[in-house]
A and B are shown apart, each in its own frame.
Chain A
Amino acid sequence: MIKFHVSHDILLGYAAGTLDEASSLLVATHLALCPHCRSRNAAADSLGGYLLESIEAEPVSPVMKDAVLSRIRSAPPAAVAMHPAVPVTSAVIPDPLRSYLGHDLDGLQWKTLAPRVHQVLIPTRDNRAKARLLRFKSGQSVPSHGHNGRELTLVLTGSLCDRDSVMYRGDIAETDERTEHQPFAGPDEDCVCLAVTDAPLRFKGILARALQPFFGI
């Protein structure tokens, strides 16, 4: 069962539509794995609905009604959305992340980031934050580092040990400027996680710092 959920702040930003695309991707992927947060998300959406009702009305242009009517008369209401022609029957990586990657876990082109650490960069339309899929060999740790901004990590396979917690599939770790940590993959299997950062990491070690520009993390 998922123990580490998306925080209120971030969920509220997702519902309001103010959260950047990369973080929204992480939230939406967590929602696919977490019925509890789907219920919280529905509550946050209801809040938007309530506020829309409460907001003061602003008169629209007198011609808008006719413009809308002429558009809807030329297009009847659509039937319920169609499903893809070839339905996917099983997957490790849930949507929307799978669609962003273009493949499930077994079809990805991994690039080496450091020994025993691989990544796949995930392009997004807005560049307020960066999303990447990371794969750590079991037992492998990341060099100790701090953050210039916020980092969100969603575990997808295996486990990730960070500070005093062990996180499994669906769990989210959230760190900020004040955090310095050295997460490492659990012993049993490779850990694949989605990581979203809104600023470059701050590595402590000289070697890691020197190599940072080459790997763009």
Chain B
Amino acid sequence: MMAVRHTAVFLSDLLWNSANDILAKLIFKIAFATRFQHIPFGATRRPRHSEDLMVAKTPGDPPSRAAEFAECIALIARDGNEAAFDVLFRYFAPRIKSYCLRLGCDASTAEEITQDAMVAIWRNAAQFDRSKASPSTWIFAIARNLSIDRFRKSCRPQFDPDDPALVPDGEVPPDLLIERAHTDQGLRKIMESLSANERSVLLLSFFENLSHSEISRRLDIPIGTVKSRIRLAFGKIRSALDEQDRTSSS
């Protein structure tokens, strides 16, 4: 699988990553040891301005609660633990609702989709595989798929990992599987390294459901610029993940 990987890596990202790698690992270890006794999320938010299209996150935010959330999902799958579900509800329900509103749902549809997403998290907890995705990525996929069905009145076909015609990944070393659980950590670093312009096109594309031409009108920049910013931002994200895979397989 490594053989087919795209190998182009932005040099600046490489330097930036290696400088931050040790620090990020240390933060993760401390956070894990203290079971994420973090500051409440709202306390670090900046006020939202209509023209401020950046993520609300600032570099001083607490580390990801991925390990804690993954544990909660495991507890739900194992014995239907409602206290664990409560942790997920308090964190994710308001964010799923916010996501739906940004897509353009009215308030009651946003509430409905959020409710269904939370029920789906409960019911499908056994399918969550922390070696394949972080909790927030898994939950995002649930919310996205529900919103496509309900709000966008469309379908999103997906591949079947057990299909006989699927071309397999090849041998994936076990330590790589463990590293992939921390994919969101590498991504976090990269998102913080993106320029404001790159981040704004990514957010508009993802959360406001705007096409390239709509983004181009909204930001008053040529469509070619929109495309190239998305390409650049996405290239950086992918390079970071490729780099992570190479590091863990070497």
Q: List residues of A whose CB falls within 8 A of some B CB.
A: 1, 8-9, 11-21, 24-25, 28-29, 31-36, 38-40, 42-61, 64-65, 67-69, 71-72, 75-81, 83, 88-98, 100, 124-126, 128, 170
Q: Does B134 contact A (CB under 8 A)?
A: yes
Given that A21-B155, A54-B55 are known contacts, is A46 also in contact with B133, CB under 8 Å in the complex? yes
Kindly list chain A residues whose C-beta atoms are within 8 Å of the C-beta of B169: 35, 38
0/1 string, B113-148, CB within 8 A of A gives 1: 011001100111111000011111111110111011
> How far is the CB of B33 from the nearest CB of chain A, in Å?
21
> How far is the CB of B4 from the nearest CB of chain A, in Å?
5
Closest to A58 in B: B98
Kindly list chain B residues whose C-beta atoms are within 8 Å of the C-beta of A90: 164-165
Instruction: Tell which of B64, B92, B119 has the most Cβ of chain A within 10 Å.
Output: B119
Q: Does B248 contact A (CB under 8 A)?
A: no
User: Can you list 21 pairs linking A and B with CB atoms under 8 Å apart?
Assistant: A17-B144, A21-B154, A25-B157, A32-B163, A32-B167, A33-B165, A35-B4, A35-B167, A43-B187, A45-B141, A49-B134, A49-B135, A51-B207, A57-B42, A58-B95, A58-B101, A64-B115, A68-B118, A71-B119, A72-B122, A78-B123
Query: In the complex, are the beta carbons of A55 and B111 less than 8 A apart?
Result: no
> How far is the CB of B69 from the nearest CB of chain A, in Å?
10
Query: In the complex, are the beta carbons of A42 and B156 less than 8 A apart?
Result: no
Closest to B58 in A: A54
Identify which of B153, B168, B207, B238 contacts A43 (C-beta below 8 A): B238
Q: List residues of B whose CB falls within 8 A of some A CB.
A: 1, 4-6, 41-42, 45, 48, 55-57, 64, 76-77, 80, 82, 85, 89, 92-99, 101-102, 110-111, 114-115, 118-119, 122-127, 132-141, 143-145, 147-148, 152-160, 162-170, 183-184, 187-188, 191, 202-203, 205-207, 209, 211-212, 227, 230-231, 234-235, 237-238, 241-242, 245
> How far is the CB of B110 from the nearest CB of chain A, in Å?
8
Kindly list chain B residues whose C-beta atoms are within 8 Å of the C-beta of A67: 115
In the assembly, what is the distance between CA of A13 and CA of B205, in Å? 8
Query: In the complex, are the beta carbons of B183 and A46 less than 8 A apart?
Result: yes
Query: In the complex, are the beta carbons of A52 and B143 less than 8 A apart?
Result: yes
Kindly list chain B residues whose C-beta atoms are within 8 Å of the C-beta of A71: 115, 119
Given that A32-B166, A33-B167, A96-B159 are known contacts, is A52 also in contact with B126, CB under 8 Å in the complex? no
Closest to A57 in B: B94
Identify which of B55, B76, B114, B133 contacts A42 (C-beta below 8 A): B133
> How far is the CB of A14 from the nearest CB of chain B, in Å?
8
Closest to A67 in B: B115
Kindly list chain B residues whose C-beta atoms are within 8 Å of the C-beta of A50: 136-137, 184, 187-188, 191
Kindly list chain B residues whose C-beta atoms are within 8 Å of the C-beta of A56: 45, 48, 56, 98
